[in-house]
Amino acid sequence: MTTYGRDVLHQTAADVIAILKTIPEFRDSKIAVIGGLALWKYISKGRTTEVYRINFPLHFTNGPRPTGRATAGKEVNTALQDVDFIVNIDSAPHGVKNRLLALENSPFVQIAQTFFYQGLNGRRVQVDVTHRDSSPYLPEAAIKIKDVPQGEVPYISILDLIVFKIFSCGMRAQAQKRLLDASDAETLVLYQIEDEGSGIKLSAKQKEMVEPYIVDVVENGKKTEKWWRENLGL
């Protein structure tokens, strides 16, 4: 697995958006960056991940959710491997990827199930495209592709990212990703409360989205249900 620093991934995001602008049927659709790169925008030192020793299988698709807690040591991850977009394009993700692959001299390539952008420097960066229906909602930060200034990237807001991380923790099939989502959500909440000196004020819609999944961040993270409810204003 190849990982990259934030600057490389930010530039990749800007490059992909610039290419999407050239495709008429996509220009009026909205886009934003979510996921680990967005988290990195707010947590400048990178994601603090947990190195877990887990006593249940790491991969499962059906059946009951894993239970139990993991012990962990910390390491700071200052690199990521992909760029995650959310769009309101009806054909996403497959239709978007197929259209990009069909471009003349396309800088995109698909290897097995993984979709990559290959820049002029020869780096291959994984790109993921999520349809809004696979997420809690389309974040307010999403803007029309044609309106994104050259070289800039619309990032999901920190509050929406908290909501997305909690939602993802509850929806994931893979245990490792559930643990990571819970850790990311905790990190973002602590950043907003402690570093910014302000509490979390979620909208009614945001509260509705996180309420069913508080149990999941409790099971997969370090904080109690009381901590989550108090700090999210639930």
User: What does each of the 234 residues of the chain score in pLDDT, given as a tens digit?
Assistant: 566 788 889 999 999 999 999 999 999 999 999 998 999 999 876 554 333 333 333 333 334 433 333 334 444 444 457 899 999 999 999 999 999 999 999 999 999 989 999 987 888 999 999 999 999 999 999 999 999 999 999 999 999 999 999 999 999 989 999 999 999 999 999 999 887 666 788 999 999 999 999 999 999 999 999 999 999 999
Structure-block tokens of residue 193: 């409360």
Task: Please provide the size of the chain in residues.
Answer: 234
Residue 220 resides in a domain: yes
Residue 1 resides in a domain: no
CA-nearest of 56, 76, 73, 75 to 64 is: 56
Residue 137 resides in a domain: yes
Q: How many of the other CB atoms lie within 10 Å of CB of 201? A: 10
Task: At 57, give phi and psi (nearest 5°).
Answer: -60, 145
CA-nearest of 60, 61, 37 to 47 is: 37
93 lies in which domain range? 6-232
Predicted local confidence at residue 75, as pLDDT: 40
Residue type, 119: G
Residue 142 resides in a domain: yes
Residue 162 resides in a domain: yes
Structure-block tokens of residue 85: 């977009």
Classify the C-alpha dihedral 203-173-77-8 as positive or negative. negative
Measured distance CA(172)–CA(175) in Å, rounded: 7
Q: How many of the other CB atoms lie within 10 Å of CB of 135? A: 19
Predicted local confidence at residue 198, as pLDDT: 64
CA-nearest of 163, 150, 151 to 86 is: 163
Residue 52 resides in a domain: yes
Residue 20 resides in a domain: yes
**Total number of domains in the chain:** 1
Residue 75 resides in a domain: yes
Beta strands in the chain (DSSP E): 30-34, 47-53, 71-77, 82-87, 108-111, 114-118, 124-131, 143-144
**Strand duo 82-87 + 124-131: pairing:** parallel
Q: How many of the other CB atoms lie within 10 Å of CB of 52? A: 18
- pTM, two decimals, is 0.82
